[in-house]
Structure 1
Amino acid sequence: MKGSKTCLVLIATSLFFLQGFEDQEDRIFQTNRCALAAAMGLNSDPSIVTKAAVEIREYMRERGINKSFAELTAITNKIQAEIMGPPDSPLQEWEDRARKITESNFCRKYLSNLSQE
């Protein structure tokens, strides 16, 4: 009985650490997503992408997260594909998808914080 409890504690601890890691990865993805969507908007502030890049780099440095250029490019490519959609999508659809992303609760808060810096 005691061995099974120890095993459960180890599994729970492992899942806790994995969940924390996923949250960091998700934050990196979401903050990049917000910045790129905002940059594609009609009334975009060109400094948003620069501010976001600095913030993301600092976030990763503080947490010891190391990503290669290829990994960061893959994240960017995934976001661009989401916003641009199929190759024959009209510009208006790009703008609509970008606006939908920037209007999410997370992005509104994140972009508001970036604008205040």
Structure 2
Amino acid sequence: MGKTTIGNSNEVFDVALSNNILAILNGNSLQTYNVLNGVFLQTYNLEDFGLVNDGDNLLVWPNIGPRSPSSELILISDGGGDLAMMDFTATNQYQGNLLLASGPTSADMDAV
């Protein structure tokens, strides 16, 4: 999904659904929305996850297969190769980071 700008202040960079929680990536924050009861839950600052750029992509990592996580994760990318992992079924939803690449960036990362 490409970046969509509405006016000057509302930007939605990507959305992903995991365990009835809609993750909305906008700028340097991630908002969560419960689709069952229609309530916004929490807003996370991407800097708290060690991501230094504005959010770029959300990826759903399902829990199928022997090398998958024990529960479905959402990976948050700022295009720099370090992805924050969120598990919306866990008490501590932020699960750490997954480093895929490091070094200077030469182009946007679109797919993993």
> Which TM class, normalised by the smaller chain length?
under 0.3
Give me the TM-score of the superposition, normalised by structure 1: 0.23
Task: Give the structure, 1 or 2, with the largest relative contact order (CA under 8 Å, sep 6 or more).
Answer: 1
Give me the TM-score of the superposition, normalised by structure 2: 0.23
Higher strand share: 2
